[in-house]
Amino acid sequence: MGGRTRRTPGIVVLVLVLLLAGCTDGGGDAAHGRITLRFQSLAWQRESVAATKELVGEWNAAHPDIRVEYVQGSWDSVHDQLLTSFEGGEAPDVIHDSSDDLADFAHGGYLADLTDLLPRRLRSDIPRRTWETTTFGDGVYGVPFLQEPRVLIAGTARLKEAGVRIPTPERPWSWAEFRRVTARLSGDGRYGVAWPLKEPVSATLNLSLSAGGRLFHRGADGRVTVRFEAADQVVPRTVHDQVVTDRSAPGSTLGSGGSDTLPGLFAGTYAMVPLGFSYRQQIVQQAPEGFAWQVLPAPAGADGLTQGVSPQTLSVARDSPHQKEAVRFLDFLLRPENMVRLALGDWMLPTGSRALEDPALHTAENGWATGTALAAQLRSAPAQSVRGYPEWKDKVATPALQEYYSGAIGLDELGERLEKDGNLVLARYQR
């Protein structure tokens, strides 16, 4: 017994060593003269993973000399993971990310400037306003390929019951009308709208573009300052008044994520919920049988239906020895028909003009047509290229907006904190 016990740890160690030795890298296939590109994709939904893998398979079948290795990455901690890989010189060749994450990498010199590498077809297919989301300084550091507007997902029965006018992209609600409608839809423990504002800053800033809000103003010297002007106040004031004055929006969802509000939407407690366009997939999966819903455009302001977005992007690592081949792969992946497959898989909108013409994106089913009609109004998120934005967001804007929306502070104090405290933060990044 004692002998067996004494031998056991030794055997365990030996087995582990042998197993681990079998897991070390056995060497690559570069010696065979063919190029291998590592493509880290962040696609995660079943359909989008399938679409991406299919496209990689098609590429590999047609290009035996340039093999693409599909690696599934994770949205969780992607920034830190990429930063470490860049620093260590081990970054993937082709990188999937979102445009609001690219600024640091572009400024840090980790990404290839694609300006002279991109084929004319791809450059002209994506509108200039969308290219702005990945343009930092004079360089283009990614190809924006999927984006989603914020829309209102509404329970059809509640709208019919109240007899309100149904807005369309051609004739949307104004912010004032939206407030009146939500007041009319409220009462008896039910609400006209539920705002899931776990991330209040990006939602507020992106929607504020519709009212002409800019908040960040770049001077002639290139320095950015915060100014909370009348146009910037339209959206925050509407949300605040719905929650605090009209009680047409519950305060309880202000700290929630979008998914948390869906049960209330299905139960009819909330008539509408402002959500990203891709949430439709969850609604299709989770809605109780017979629940009728529709996609409505977000309210319009002085600048119509304009919204800020941070599209998903594909970039090439600057350290990649095969940048041209990587861009060839991007060109293939983002052909109009392929972009449509990726967009349908992710329940988002493609950025390419030709892809947006695809009939599959113009069907009324699941609100595709409404979302597609908004594509022309999408702009680069206002804060995207502002250095110091993450700190301003976390330390100043998020708590200030949360307090304002819950009624703890007024509009004047909100403005003072966004401007005074905010400009102090931004100034540190612009010395």
Residues that bind another protein (CB under 8 A): 9, 12-13, 16, 19-21, 23-25, 38, 42, 44-46, 49, 70-72, 74-77, 80-81, 83-85, 87-90, 92, 98, 199, 257-259, 262-264, 266-267, 269, 276, 278-279, 282, 285-289, 312
Q: Which is nearer to another protein, 12 or 360 (CB)?
A: 12
Do 405 and 240 form a contact (C-beta atoms < 8 A)? yes
Least distance to another protein, CB of residue 58, Å: 19
For residues 419 and 167, what is the distance between their CA atoms, to the nearest angstrom? 34
Q: Which is nearer to another protein, 57 or 263 (CB)?
A: 263
Q: Which is nearer to another protein, 122 or 249 (CB)?
A: 249
Least distance to another protein, CB of residue 36, Å: 12
Q: Which is nearer to another protein, 98 or 237 (CB)?
A: 98
| Nearest Cα residue to 163 out of 185, 183, 180 | 185
Instruction: Please report where in the chains the tokens 């994506």 appear, as a residue.
Output: 126
Residue burial 250-281, b: 16+ Cβ < 10 Å; e: rest: beebbebebeebbebbbeebbbbbbbbbbbbb
Least distance to another protein, CB of residue 285, Å: 4
Using a 10 angstrom Cβ sphere, with 0-12 exposed, 13-18 middle and 19 or more buried, the burial of residue 142 is buried
Q: Which is nearer to another protein, 24 or 359 (CB)?
A: 24
Tell me the residue type at 332: F
Nearby residues of 111 by Cβ (< 8 Å), 6 or more positions away: 95, 102, 105, 141, 142, 315, 316, 317, 318
Q: In degrees, to the nearest 5, what angle opens at C-alpha 252 toward C-alphas 247 and 257? A: 125
Q: Which is nearer to another protein, 14 or 427 (CB)?
A: 14
Least distance to another protein, CB of residue 231, Å: 26
With H, G, I as helix, E, B as strand and everything else as coil, classify residue 332: helix
For residues 368 and 362, what is the distance between their CA atoms, to the nearest angstrom? 6
Least distance to another protein, CB of residue 49, Å: 7
Do 195 and 274 form a contact (C-beta atoms < 8 A)? yes
Using a 10 angstrom Cβ sphere, with 0-12 exposed, 13-18 middle and 19 or more buried, the burial of residue 159 is buried
Least distance to another protein, CB of residue 74, Å: 4
Q: Which is nearer to another protein, 45 or 174 (CB)?
A: 45
Least distance to another protein, CB of residue 82, Å: 9
